[in-house]
Every structure is written in C-alpha cells, then in structure tokens.
Chains A and B, each alone.
Chain A
C-alpha cells in the first residue's frame, strides 16, 4: 500500500488494535489510541515533506492548468466493468485538509482522556470515523468518495447516542437522518455525473474532461451543493448542528465540528465547482445570499445562547457560512479564503469544544450564567479560550483573520458572471459579522471567565498535562497559520488554479485573477 493509503488505513488499524486489547486494561486503550494518532501525525508530516518536494505549485505550467494535478497517486482497478477504481492522491487542498484532520484527531484523543465508560468502543468508533474522513480527503474516485463520506457520517450516531448528554438519542437520530438524507442528494448528483459524462468511469479526473450541457449542470449543481451544504451547515439545513454538538461528547463534537463539517465545503468545492462550472455561475448569487444569511443568522443566534456548546455550535454555523460564501464568490481569492477558513475554523472549533469539554469536566455545568471568574482558578484554559475566541472574531495575527480577509476581498472583487454591486452589498453584510462575533464571543467568555469567582468553583484545578498539550498544539497551529501564512498559501493557490480556469473556460470574459 502506498504512502497516501496509509493515511486512512492507520486509524483503522489503530481502531482494530484498540478493539483487540483485553477487556481489563482500559487505560491501555487510551495509550494505544494516542500512539496511533501521534504516529499518524508523523506520517502526515512526512507526506507534507514528500509533497513539497515533488509538487510544483507556482511554476507557469500551473497558472493555465485546466485539470487538477495530483501527486503521490495510487490507482488500482476495483470494479473495472463499472469503471470504479481505488484512486487515491493528493493536491494542495486535500493535503491541507489532511493536516487539519490529523491535528484535530490527535488533540481529540488527548481531550477525551477522561472517557472511562466503555472506552474501547468509544476510541474504536472515533478512529473509524476519522479514517472515513481521511478517505474522503484523499480519494478521487466518486464511488470511493461517497463510500468514505458515509463511513465518516455513521459512527456519529453511536458516539452521540451512547456517550452523549442531554437529549442524546433525539439529537443523534436527527443528526444521522439529516446527514444521510443529504448523502441521498449527493448520490443522485454523483450518479447523474457518472451517466451524464458518457464515459464509463467514476474517475474524477476523467469526468472533469467532459463539458456537461448547461441545462444538465443547472440541476446537478444545486443538488450537489445543497447535498454537501447540509453537512456544511448551509442556512436552512443547519438545525442538526446545535443539537448534535450540544449532546455529543467532547472529542466527538471536536472532530465533528472541526473536521466533518469541512467535508461539506470540500465536497462542494471538489465536485460542485470543479465539474460543473456553468452551474456554479448560474447559482452563485442565490447561494451567496443564503450563505450571507448563514453568517449573520448564526452570529445573532449565538448571542442569545446560554449553553456554551450551543454558543459554539451557532458560531461554527456562522463560520461555516464563510466557507460556503468563499466558494460561491467564484474567484481565486474567495475560493482560497474558503479553503483557509476550512482549516482555521477546523482548528478553532476543535480548540473551543476541547476547552468546553475540559471546563464542563470541572464545573459540571455548561450554562454560562452559572459560571464566573474562572480565569483566577484555571489561567491556562482561560488564555486558550480567549485565543480561540479572538481567532474566531478574526483578530489579525491568528488564523481567522487570514481566512476572513481573503473571503471579504474575494467578495469585493467579484466575478464576471454575477452583478458586482449586489455581491459587494452581500459582502458588506457578511463583514458586519465581525462585530456581532466580537459581541457574542466577549459576552460569552466574559460571563464565564471574568467577574467575581463563585464559591463552589474555588477548588477547581487548572489543565492537566494531556489537556495542556492538546490545547497547546491547537493554539500553536492557530498562531503559526496566523503569523506566517506565506509558506502554505501558494500551496493552496496551485491547487485552485484549475478550478478557476475552468470557470472562465467557456464564458466569454477571461477571468483576471
């Protein structure tokens, strides 16, 4: 098996190892899971190193490319009568997402150090979920993509249902049903692509060589965009996220909000925009309106929330709105912003949910008004919480600003197919979210960490070592991405050129970058 396949086989193998451990030794289970994920971190690092060596992402061949250039490719025929292959590879975007997932699962395992009840199944399911997510990010065959997508979605049900809190069955069932219904839409889209392309293959690269008729694109693009939008918390379909996250255990909501919601953005980009450019052009304005509501709606709803997890869930609804907003701006800067926002929001929400889990572990309550003045007793967590909060409101020097500035700039520059003034008006409305985000972040964190310390919280301890490492790693990533964006930006840019070139391939005006 080549290097890239190990990305999703390693978590699976760790899961098996976790299941195989003898029943008595529950602490051994956590250690194996940690070993597996740290090994995975090394693997990702090595792959990034190999990728940078072999990939060219700024030469002039790249600017005019029309087909995504993949690296470290492995291709084995699977069902060759139907044209299904085991087709795995990496390009700028998926590498970026792989790094994100690897970091989030590593910190996720650390953050769930205290899960004791049936920990074997918990860690096994978590790792299977992650191997599904890795599978999605590296597979370039529609059938495999869909298969891993559903593998990623299903363990959520058991994870929330068994280890969750509050109305766990209801929210687990609602979450699974909405995500599976969305995968139904995606399935229709994929099969339409498979048969619409005329050539007998599920290979993404081959299908991208076909120019689909406009009418065909006009109905397939919204199906796929909405299908992926549901998991990317697109406006009317986001209701599963607050319930799902608030009753999910810490590591699960870290993983889910951090990584699974990015599948939506990634899928819309990789399948929707890449294969159906004209469809994207016709629908861009509609979805831009929807995502702007998404951003503002999520932010305003977050102000009112009393429960910390609901508060973060609505904030991630608003931030995921940025991702989809960036995609429908249809220009290089906007789409690049969308990808960076996927990464930065992934890290941010993982940090948020991790910290909430740790605070909940100590104060046994998530209601904001019941807590107060915790900064005195747990300074480390308070600092990390504030870093996450400031990153989410887009403070320069942290990852949030880089992504948001790209998205706003992309929105302002516009594209030749949508009318510029409406696009700019929508972008201004979206920019207003930085104020609303500031309001709810500071309101929430102020109520929890500042103000006089309540009696019963006097004896709380600060972060333990594992918690320090996990939050430390996430904060460091936010800072690195925020302070030194230049080294990975052109890595993404190289991967986005084909998408943008295809947009103007058949349109009359040639898209200036």
Chain B
C-alpha cells in the first residue's frame, strides 16, 4: 500500500505484535492516540477558529468576558474522567503483566556490559538470543553483573529494568512465531547500543528440535552440581547428613529458622544472598564465618546454576528442613503463599 509513496514504503508504521498481551496494550495505545487526536483537533480548531473569527476589526471592541465557573468545572471534570479510564485500563494491564502465571517456564537472563547471557533450565546457553516456544508462558528471571540494564522486547510490549543486587523478572506468552528484536533500554555505557539481540518464537516441533541440542554440560542443575563440587561446597553441605553446614536437600522454598529468631523462606533471593554473603543470615544452630564469601568469586550465572541445583534437590517428598520445631514442610505453592503473607 505504501509502495506508491516512495520512501514511506520503508517505514514500518505498525510495530510487530507477537503476543495477546501486546495486542491488549496496543488497543489501549490506539485508544490514547484517538483521545489525543480528538483533543488536539479540538484545541487547534478552537485556537484557529477563535483567532480568525475574532480577529481585529475596525469598530468592533473586545468584550471582556471574565470567565465561567461552569465551563471551568466542566473542562476539568470531563478530561479527568477520560483520564480515569486510561488509569484504570493501564493499571489493569500493568498488574497482569506483573503477575506471571504459576505454570510459567523459567528462563534466566544475566545482563552484563554489554551482552545478555541467557540460560535455560535444560542447560542450553545463548548470548544475545532467546528461543521460546509458542503459546507457553515464559518467565524471565534476570540479574545484572554491573550497572542497571533494561530488558526490552517491543514485539511483546514488555520491559523491565535489571538492577544489580537482586533478581528482577518479567513474563510473556508468545502467540506469533517469528524473529523479534531484544534491546537494552537503560543506558549502560559505551556499547549500550550493541546490547541487542533476537528472540525467536518457534512452534512446538521446531522448539523441540532446537532444545534437543541440549547443553553440552548437562542441565542447569547438573552444571550447578559441578560447580557445587568444584567450589568445595559439598565438603560441608553434605547431601544426607548433618555436616558443618545446613543440609540443602528439600530446602528450596521452605521456611528456615535463623539464629536471631527470625524465620525466612528459602527462595531465590535468600539463596542468592546466602551464596554471595553467607554471613548475612545464619541458620539456627550453625556458626558464622564457616563458609567463605563468594561475592566477586562467582558470577551471577554461576549463582543461577547453583540455585537450580539446590532447587533440583527439593523433591516433593523432601525430608524435614533444618528448621527444628517448624511444622512439617508444606507444599511448595503453599509455602510460597505463606512466605508472601509473612513478608507483609
């Protein structure tokens, strides 16, 4: 259609929409565009119309109209009501975008000056590329090695900053196969504009084929297990009996009693902190200063591998946790809920 307009043919006027959520957000976008257009046209007509209708004429004196409270209130309330619609609509979509479905498949992303390192649970690893199956919810758990980055995929209308020091996340569910862009959208230094990549949405069979390549070093958990041995973790964190350090089997997402009387949930954030700064929280009955600090020793990728390994130890029939006196381990989902409630 644009071909006859020369260079306009080169402009992609519609951004690709590769998920249902992207379509929902685009609908809101077009609503906002329509409202803005109507308002702009109204104002322009008002300004141009009044300017010509009441241009200076000989013998016609200006009439000092001072104002009108009715008008003022009207043109305050009506735009505000329209804006309430925008607020409600936008917040509703935002809230959905912030709440990943329970069954989402988890992929790990580490941002680092200036690349995105992607790790899959099955051990596949990529740089600046992401492969996802169509129709499946995908949750990205993201960490930064250095400065603030922002992971952005315009085709899904998703974006989240990746702030060093903790995990950030976003989720999406692709509905269109294709090849879409990834950007870093928080300025992160010299090669910021090269921190870009591609996300490929594949159908079931294609994805199966792609994934079957597998990681050369086994699954993410297996990679973690290797690290666990290499770094000497296994000498103190014994698998089935009490060593100098807590047993990690069945630990994930379970409550842990600390030596200062608090109880915390052993979630990703807790595990990350306990690997990097073991002294930050000491499990009840154990000594501080036993485990070395791994801050600066392990990369965020390594930490993700180790956490995957610890997760893999959390079989449903897990043994009771370290937390003596705690009620029997609740199912993972329930524990997560309890954790969320406890945090409030």
A, B: real partners:
no
